[in-house]
Structure 1
Amino acid sequence: MSVPAADDIEAFRRLVLERSGLTLSADKDYLLRTRLEPIVRHETFTDLAALLRQVRIAPASPLAQRCVDAMATHESFFFRDITPFDQLRDVLLPELSKTRAHTRTLRIWSAACSSGQEPYSLAMLLNEQPGLFGGWNLRILATDFSEPILSRARSALYSDFEARRGLSPERQARWLSPESGAFRVVPEVRSMVQFRQHNLLEGAAMLGRFDLILCRNVLIYFDATTKARTLESIATVLEPDGALILGSAETVVGLDGSFEPRAGLRGVFQVRSA
């Protein structure tokens, strides 16, 4: 078993950065083996060195894209870090139900949605507020750069472990249906979510405008320049009185002048006033 050539590793790092914005520093080389070994076995390469050599030879191939996709952290679960959802229920959604009452339309973007638990959680939460949004046009756009993970999200099928992770027994019973030893999100929730392949590095203008944007646990994997560029792009599609929700370890401070923290709310930001 040969050791991957330094040039092949560096070429792969550049490819991942270019395609996804993810920065693979030298101290994360262990991820190459843990996340690419399944592809090595599936494609019957002799070892990781042979796979990386082939990716360097053909960076535009489907195989190369599969390897880039594999480097993303697709960790997700229902109602992850419950605080943002509590803030949505108690503050942000009641506010928007008043300010959008004339159009009765609400558009939400779940960026880097991974396997779909976040947008489905949003749909569940909206359905649990009939007094606020009964009869409204509620649209949730969920995007990710990885088509394989989007395919899984569209299936809306989750294992018993995934179903129990983040969902109370009451929510499981209401929003999931047992199916062949697993659980599928009910049609009432699935119909509210549209999945679309989209790379945050490509900007957001083509997606339309939004009242709420969730971009959680994504920026932590970007370098400072990519973070700032991503935030600037997001600001152009967020309504002036809308809200951006980031992950608990993320901030806009020192990165971009487009946003400012929303007072009294954790991880919530608004477009900076002129």
Structure 2
Amino acid sequence: MEVSDSSSRILAGLLEARTGQQLTRSRRWRIETALSSILRERRIATLDELITTLVMGRDPALTAAVVEALLNNETYFFRDRNPFELLANEALPMLAEHRKASRRIRIWSAGCSTGQEAYSLAMLFANDPEKWRGWTIDILATDVSTSVIERARRGVYTQFEVQRGLGVQEMLRWFEECDDGWRTAAALRRQVRFQVHNVLDTPPVPGQFDIILCRNVLLYLCAEKRALAFDRLSSAMAPDAWLMLGAGETVIGQTERLTADTERRGLYKLASVAVPPVLPALRTATSGG
């Protein structure tokens, strides 16, 4: 299936209009793979025929399916590991100290894809039940794609998807085998709420989140929409909250509302807020995970 420049431009325009994400030239190689199943299922012979149908606008379901197919849903459990170690060893212990009066922590996984990141967060808390006993841990996971949110709610993954980020013992502890693969334990599913949401829209809960993870999402936005996304994300943060981005992302030169936390590399905070340093005793108590 050959993808012409005109077809690529139409599809890129459709994706950006519906989601804000760009389909740059470097990513257009994905078009053939992403749309092949739609062509097969709809018995559409060529990409040009598909484009004609989309332009006519008579099949909203097809348009939605094409947009979702073009989104990049790459994710896996405990992706890159180091960010989760940073949360477990530094950010969460500090939050436990700062929130000991309310005993409540709110986390937003923005651009959660099929849910592995959100369930990984739930595992962090479930791995230390005594420490978090009596706490309310609210994990909200959102994505612009309806289909991936539906799959995330089910919490069913193939063995390859589970073992891509987890060891055998973790798989046996947190998953149960089912007809379709391996289903996330009920305790983890109860910990996470999934919702369709675009990071460019008004935040689900303004000014309330203690940690926001928005990893490898802003890479696909143009500079103008990226600035809007940072405005939305920062408006959702509690005064002493943190934002975590992907390894290839930064706030530098992108927004004045956020700044890097110089003591915790990989975390960002509101520019007008100085987060107190971690107490020596607290750091000692949590070292070694």
TM-score tier, shorter chain, comes to over 0.9
Match of 1:223 in 2: 222
Cα pair distance change 1:229/1:104, threshold 3 Å: same
The answer to whether residue 197 in structure 2 is matched with residue 172 in structure 1 is no
Give the whole-Å Cα distance in 1 for the aligned partners of 2:205 and 2:101: 25
Q: Deviations over 1:51-84 (max 9, x none)?
A: 1111121187121111111111111110001011
2:22 counterpart letter in structure 1:
T
Give the whole-Å Cα distance in 2 for the aligned partners of 1:28 and 1:75: 13
Shift of residue 50 of structure 1? 0.7
Give the whole-Å Cα distance in 2 for the aligned partners of 1:221 and 1:238: 22
Aligned-CA RMSD value: 1.9
- 3-state DSSP class of the match of 1:248? coil
Give the whole-Å Cα distance in 1 for the aligned partners of 2:178 and 2:37: 27
Give the whole-Å Cα distance in 2 for the aligned partners of 1:98 and 1:3: 55
Range with greater deviation from structure 2 (169-178 or 85-94): 169-178
Shift of residue 205 of structure 1? 5.2
Match of 1:201 in 2: 200
Q: Deviations over 1:131-152 (max 9, x none)?
A: 4311111111010111111111
Cα pair distance change 1:162/1:249, threshold 3 Å: same
Shift of residue 171 of structure 1? 1.7
Give the whole-Å Cα distance in 2 for the aligned partners of 1:181 and 1:198: 27
Structure 1 residues 20-35: aligned runs within 5 Å: 20-35=19-34
Range with greater deviation from structure 2 (22-31 or 233-242): 22-31
Shift of residue 209 of structure 1? 2.0
Match of 1:17 in 2: 16
Contact 2:108 2:213 in 1 (8 A): yes
Match of 2:240 in 1: 241
Cα pair distance change 1:60/1:265, threshold 3 Å: farther
- 3-state DSSP class of the match of 2:263? coil
Q: TM-score, normalised by structure 2?
A: 0.89
Range with greater deviation from structure 2 (78-87 or 129-138): 129-138
Give the whole-Å Cα distance in 2 for the aligned partners of 1:5 and 1:165: 36
Shift of residue 27 of structure 1? 4.2
Contact 1:84 1:266 in 2 (8 A): no
Q: Deviations over 1:14-50 (max 9, x none)?
A: 2211211211233433222221121111111111111
Cα pair distance change 1:46/1:4, threshold 3 Å: farther
Give the whole-Å Cα distance in 2 for the aligned partners of 1:144 and 1:63: 19
Cα pair distance change 1:272/1:207, threshold 3 Å: closer
- 3-state DSSP class of the match of 2:78? coil
1:49 counterpart letter in structure 2:
D
Give the whole-Å Cα distance in 1 for the aligned partners of 2:2 and 2:160: 38
Cα pair distance change 1:208/1:43, threshold 3 Å: farther
Give the whole-Å Cα distance in 2 for the aligned partners of 1:5 and 1:156: 38
Match of 1:160 in 2: 159
Contact 1:210 1:239 in 2 (8 A): yes
Q: Deviations over 1:122-168 (max 9, x none)?
A: 00101112243111111110101111111111111111111111112
The answer to whether residue 131 in structure 2 is matched with residue 132 in structure 1 is yes
Contact 2:53 2:59 in 1 (8 A): no
Structure 1 residues 50-65: aligned runs within 5 Å: 50-58=49-57, 61-65=60-64
Contact 1:157 1:182 in 2 (8 A): yes
Shift of residue 2 of structure 1? 8.1
Q: TM-score, normalised by structure 1?
A: 0.93
Structure 2 gaps, min length 5:
274-289
Give the whole-Å Cα distance in 2 for the aligned partners of 1:178 and 1:135: 30
Give the whole-Å Cα distance in 2 for the aligned partners of 1:85 and 1:110: 13
Contact 2:176 2:185 in 1 (8 A): yes
Give the whole-Å Cα distance in 2 for the aligned partners of 1:131 and 1:89: 15
1:213 counterpart letter in structure 2:
I
Cα pair distance change 1:131/1:95, threshold 3 Å: farther
2:235 counterpart letter in structure 1:
T
The answer to whether residue 209 in structure 2 is matched with residue 210 in structure 1 is yes
Q: Deviations over 1:78-104 (max 9, x none)?
A: 000101110111000000011111111
Shift of residue 212 of structure 1? 0.6
Quote the sequence identity (%): 35
